Amino acid sequence: MTEFAQILLWGAFLCYLLSVNLYLLHALIRRPLLWRGAFALVGLGFLLHSLCLGLRWYLAGYLPVTNLFSTLFFFSWALAATYLYFELRNRIHAAGLFVMLFNLLLLGTALPRDSALKPLIPALDTPLFTLHIAFSFLGYAFFAMAFSLGVLYLVQRRLGTALLPDLALLRQLNEEAIFLGFALFSLCMLFGGIWAQVAWGYYFSWNIKGLWSFLVWLFYAGMCHAKFVRRWQGTGYACLSILGFALVLFTYLGIGLLMSSNHPLD
């Protein structure tokens, strides 16, 4: 069964890799067939990715998002889901190149790592754990999407290419990604707080991970307000999306890997 999960995982990776190549080709020679093929491959990759996640969940008996491999794997799945959501709703086409490239990077970093499923320790044996991490990575995925849309906004502003959606749509999608990401990340923080109360006896931890997660929340809360300030609309908002995602990456990877925290990744 675990071998089958590995096959599904590699299948998903291959689909994403091919889709990135097709998106790249589409950027160069602009054929609708190419982005359609790329989008179909993302869909197929996401299907294999979901099957792999479901199988691993079934085999482990819990949502397996406990170490660096599994968090990268789940982050990549959430990002693919987020991209599909935006593509299906808004037809952003070539904008998918940047997102899927980032997604490929996430899954590619996960692949060489230990994918073994380990027994769940009692501290993680609670539905609050599942809710906390699911909302956390879904929130991260929307922030990653906002980051990609922010970069694309700046590119479009400079190049004005027909390949990318217009600035108004990119700005609207960026704001939508920030709002949805903030809503999901807030749920992550709330479930995390309840879990911390039952596991540690307090709902806010001054551990560096807890502090930085709150900073990420505060930053994006500020962003949800900043879009009403004319000066911050458009370019400023795109820059904030990029800066915000740097905070997210540091909170997730920087603290998890480089510092001693109560959310270790390995």
Partner 1 sequence: MSRFRHLLKDFWKLCCSLKLAIVLATLATLTAFGGSLLMPSRPWIFANMDSVNLGEWLARQGRQYPGMTWWIHLYGALLLLLGLNTACCVADWLVHLRGRWRKSGEYLIHLGFVLLLAAYLWGCLAGFRVAGEAIAVGETRPVPRLPGYYLRLHAVEPVLGPSGRPMDVRSSLSLLRGETVVAEQAVRANHPLIWKGLTVLGLSFDQRNDGFRFTGSLGTLELRAGSRIALPDGGELHILDYRPNGARRGSGGGPFEPVFFGEIRHPGQPSEHVRYALREGLPSALTRIGLDLRPLAPLQQPVSILAIHYDPGLALAFAGALVMTLGILLAIGSFYYKRSRGDRPLL
**Half-sphere exposure at residue 263, Cβ-oriented, CA atoms within 13 angstroms:** 25
CA-CA distance, 10 to 160, in Å (whole number)? 37
Tell me: does residue 171 bind partner 1 (CB under 8 A).
no
Minimum CB separation of residue 28 from partner 1 in Å reads: 33
Nearer to partner 1, 44 or 243 (CB): 243
Per-residue x/- marks for partner 1, 220-249, CB under 8 A? -xx-xxxxxx--------------------
CA-CA distance, 40 to 38, in Å (whole number)? 5
Tell me: does residue 123 bind partner 1 (CB under 8 A).
yes
> Do 125 and 54 touch, CB atoms closer than 8 A?
no
Closest CA to 128 of 193, 210, 72: 193
Nearer to partner 1, 158 or 260 (CB): 260
Calculate Rg over the CA atoms of the chain.
Answer: 19
Nearer to partner 1, 86 or 98 (CB): 86
Tell me: does residue 183 bind partner 1 (CB under 8 A).
yes
> Do 143 and 181 touch, CB atoms closer than 8 A?
yes
Q: Which residues bind partner 1 (CB under 8 A)?
A: 119, 121-123, 125-126, 128, 172, 175-176, 179-180, 183, 186-187, 190, 193-195, 197-208, 211-212, 214-215, 218-219, 221-222, 224-229, 259-260
